[in-house]
Structure 1
Amino acid sequence: MTPDSPRRTYHHGDLRQAVLAAALDVIATEGPGALSLRDLARRAGVSHAAPAHHFKDRTGLLTAIAAQGYDLLAEALAGAPGLRERGVRYVRFAAAHPAHFQVMFQPDLYRDRADDAELLAAKARASAELRAGAATLAPDPSAARDAGIAAWSLAHGFSTLLLTHNLDDPLGGRDPGEVFRTLTGLLGSGQLPATEGE
Structure 2
Amino acid sequence: MAATVENNPLVIDVPAELFAPAESSSFEGTYDMGEFDFGPDHYKTVGTMQWNAFVSNVGGALLVTGSITGVVATECSRCLDEVEYDVNGELEAYLIIPGESEAPEDMDEDEFDYLPESNQLDFEPILRAAVLVDLPYVPLCAEDCKGLCPQCGANLNDGPCGCKPVEDDVVRTDSGKPSQFAALKNFKFE
Structure having the higher helix fraction is 1
The structure with the largest strand share of the pair is 2
TM range (shorter): under 0.3
Q: Which has the higher contact order (CA 8 A, sep 6+)?
A: 1
Indicate the structure (1 or 2) with the bigger Cα radius of gyration: 2
